[in-house]
């Protein structure tokens, strides 16, 4: 820890910049206790500050914005896919006959930034019939294990699905710069509804 | 109706727990057992939930919270110890990443190889995105 | 067993809860069967990330429909969030450790694009 970061003013600024984490931790605390009272909120906030100060984490590069409509699209597709994928895997397990054979497919994501790579990887583990085996942060290549490669339509179909998922993630959370760099210019499919209403808060900061 | 549904669900979950237990016994590797124990924990959570569904009680819900928080720790710990990093895993890191690493490092980490650091970085990104810590 | 007024909404909520309960239990069973039947470590990991998570979510939804108290729902939401966030992480770490230490037979994987120049 550098001597500069021990200065109170610096620490305060650091806390201020982490208000998301503080709010999230406080919310978790309140949910854990199960009722919304001042005592709970204050205790949660105190504990959140203590946690953030005592266990500092490196800042992650996420200069994104949240676009409401694409976020809803992402969430709805996620829930639908979760149902389909879960029943598919359960059925493949329970049905008689030979079990499907797997494969490993390499998918190069459009945007290798940590935050988006993580979200896409976590979601692709949960939803399509895939599982992240390795992820290369330097190149943005994700290696997915596919449970039933024939049932999923071959490696190309898996790549297409994963890239479509990443596109939904980027449309929901990435800044306009990132979208433009990835060739997903805002305005077409999915973002048309709010393209004018959401100001791009992270413009110009997208390049990590 | 509820009684029948609860009974059926309890039987299904119990069978699932038994199957997971068989996998724990068979292995063959430590990781298989870790995964099966993970499943066993979740079936336990399911069983407690089913009991709470039957009796409409809320006192047992904190148990579910606690189990779901610690359930995955076992398999992650085992994965971390079981996973030897291959020697050729060296990867060039950008100066920003190294700087972020240095800022975050409270303990000297000279001994650890690159893959372990990559795991740390993933954990960090995870906790910022979700609600792990 | 708490006494609840048997009204129309209670009946509807209970019926939906029963459906979710059965679906969730079925998925949990699917996870157990897959865990036993799937031939390789990586294939078994799929049961941990998919049917197991949704099965638990459905069971907890059924529980929320049965108890219908906000504090309980808050905690259940927390359980679901933890599951959604942690199970892919656990699965990824186990899968990667198994993959790197040769507990996965590469010949089982067709195609296997790992290590190909990209």
Indicate whether A190 pLDDT > 70. Answer: no
Which is more confident, B24 or B97? B24
Could you tell me if residue C23 is inside a domain? yes
Query: Does C101 contact B123 at a Cβ distance shorter than 8 Å?
Result: no
Query: Does B46 contact C56 at a Cβ distance shorter than 8 Å?
Result: yes
Task: Write the pLDDT tens digit of every residue in B35-88.
Answer: 888 888 889 989 998 998 888 888 888 888 888 888 778 778 887 777 655 444
Q: Where are the alpha helices (DSSP H) in chain C?
A: 8-37, 41-49, 51-67, 70-100
State how far residue A99 is from chain C, nearest Cα, in angstroms.
7
Q: Which residues on chain C are in Cβ contact (under 8 Å) with A105?
A: 111, 113
| Stretch C83-91: mean pLDDT | 83
Q: Scan residues 42-81 of B and list those with Cβ closer than 8 Å to C.
A: 42-43, 45-46, 49-50, 52-53, 55-58, 61-62, 64-65, 68-69, 71-72, 75-76, 78-80
Q: Angle at which helices B30-55 and C8-37 pack, to 10 degrees?
A: 160
Could you tell me if residue C68 is inside a domain? yes
Could you tell me if residue C58 is inside a domain? yes
Could you tell me if residue C86 is inside a domain? yes
- Which class for A96: exposed (0-12), middle (13-18), buried (19 or more C-beta within 10 A)? exposed
pLDDT of residue A7: 64
Q: How confident is the model at residue C105 (pLDDT cuts 50, 70, 90)?
A: low
- Which class for A45: exposed (0-12), middle (13-18), buried (19 or more C-beta within 10 A)? middle
Chain B residues within 8 A (CB-CB) of chain A? 65, 91-93, 96, 100-101, 103-104, 106, 118, 121-122, 124-129, 131, 133
Among the partner-chain residues C40, C108, C111, the one whose CB lies closest to the CB of A155 is: C111
**Structurally, how many domains does chain C consist of?**
1
pLDDT of residue A194: 39
Q: Which residue has the tokens 């939930």?
A: B49
- Give the H/E segment covering residue A143: strand A141-146
Could you tell me if residue C20 is inside a domain? yes
pLDDT of residue B127: 40
Query: Does B39 contact C31 at a Cβ distance shorter than 8 Å?
Result: yes
Task: Write the pLDDT tens digit of every residue in B73-126.
Answer: 877 888 777 765 544 444 555 666 666 666 665 444 444 444 444 444 444 444
**Domain span holding position C73:** 8-108
> CB distance from B121 to chain C under 8 Å?
no
Could you tell me if residue C70 is inside a domain? yes
pLDDT of residue A61: 60
State how far residue B38 is from chain A, nearest Cα, in angstroms.
16
Among the partner-chain residues A34, A93, A134, the one whose CB lies closest to the CB of C37 is: A93
Q: Please provide the average confidence, as pLDDT, over all residues in chain A.
A: 73
Q: Please provide the average confidence, as pLDDT, over all residues in chain C.
A: 80
pLDDT of residue C5: 59
Tell me which chains share at least 3 CB pairs under 8 Å with chain A: B, C
Nearest Cα residue in chain A from C99: A133
pLDDT of residue B112: 42
Nearest Cα residue in chain B from C40: B32
Residues contacting residue C67 through CB under 8 Å, at least 6 positions apart: B52, B56, B57, B58
Q: Which residues on chain A are in Cβ contact (under 8 Å) with B127?
A: 57
pLDDT of residue C113: 67
CA pair distance A135, A120, nearest whole angstrom: 11
């Amino acid at each position: 820890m550098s001597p500069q970061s021990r200065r109170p003013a610096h620490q305060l600024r650091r806390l201020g910049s982490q208000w998301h984490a503080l709010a999230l931790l406080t919310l978790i605390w309140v949910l854990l206790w199960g009722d919304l009272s001042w005592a709970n909120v204050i205790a949660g906030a105190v504990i959140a500050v203590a946690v953030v100060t005592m266990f500092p984490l490196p800042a992650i590069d996420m200069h994104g914005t949240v676009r409401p409509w694409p976020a809803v699209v992402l969430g709805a597709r996620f829930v639908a896919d979760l149902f389909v994928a879960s029943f598919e895997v359960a059925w493949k397990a329970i049905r008689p006959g030979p079990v499907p054979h797997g494969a490993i497919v390499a998918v190069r994501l459009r945007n290798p930034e940590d935050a988006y790579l993580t979200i896409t990887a976590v979601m692709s583990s949960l939803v399509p019939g895939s599982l992240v085996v390795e992820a290369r942060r330097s190149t943005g290549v994700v290696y997915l294990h596919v449970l039933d490669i024939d049932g999923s339509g071959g490696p190309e179909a898996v790549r297409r699905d994963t890239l479509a998922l990443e596109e939904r993630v980027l449309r929901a959370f990435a800044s306009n710069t990132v979208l433009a760099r990835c060739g997903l210019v805002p305005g077409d499919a999915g973002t048309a509804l709010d393209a004018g209403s959401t100001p791009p808060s992270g413009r110009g900061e997208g390049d990590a | 109706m509820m009684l029948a549904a609860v009974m059926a669900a309890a039987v299904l979950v119990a069978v699932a727990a038994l199957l997971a237990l068989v996998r724990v016994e068979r292995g063959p590797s430590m990781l298989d057992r870790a995964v099966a124990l993970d499943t066993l924990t979740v079936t336990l959570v399911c069983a407690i939930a089913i009991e709470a569904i039957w009796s409409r009680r809320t006192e047992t819900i904190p148990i579910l919270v606690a189990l779901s928080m610690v359930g995955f720790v076992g398999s992650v710990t085992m994965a971390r110890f079981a996973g030897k990093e291959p020697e050729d895993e060296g990867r060039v890191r950008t100066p920003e990443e190294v700087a972020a690493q240095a800022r975050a490092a409270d303990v000297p980490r000279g001994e650890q190889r690159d893959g372990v650091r990559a795991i740390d970085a993933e954990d960090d990104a995870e906790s910022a995105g979700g609600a792990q810590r | 067993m708490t006494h609840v007024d048997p009204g129309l909404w209670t009946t509807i909520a209970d019926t939906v809860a029963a459906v979710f309960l059965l679906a969730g239990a079925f998925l949990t069973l699917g996870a157990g069967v897959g865990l036993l039947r799937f031939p390789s470590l990586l294939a078994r990991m799929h049961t941990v990330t998919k049917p197991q998570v949704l099965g638990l979510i459905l069971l907890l939804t059924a529980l929320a429909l049965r108890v219908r108290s906000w504090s309980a729902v808050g905690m259940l939401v927390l359980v679901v969030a933890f599951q959604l966030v942690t199970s892919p992480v656990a699965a990824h770490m186990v899968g990667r450790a198994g993959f790197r230490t040769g507990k996965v037979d590469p010949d089982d994987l067709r195609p296997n694009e790992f290590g190909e120049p990209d």
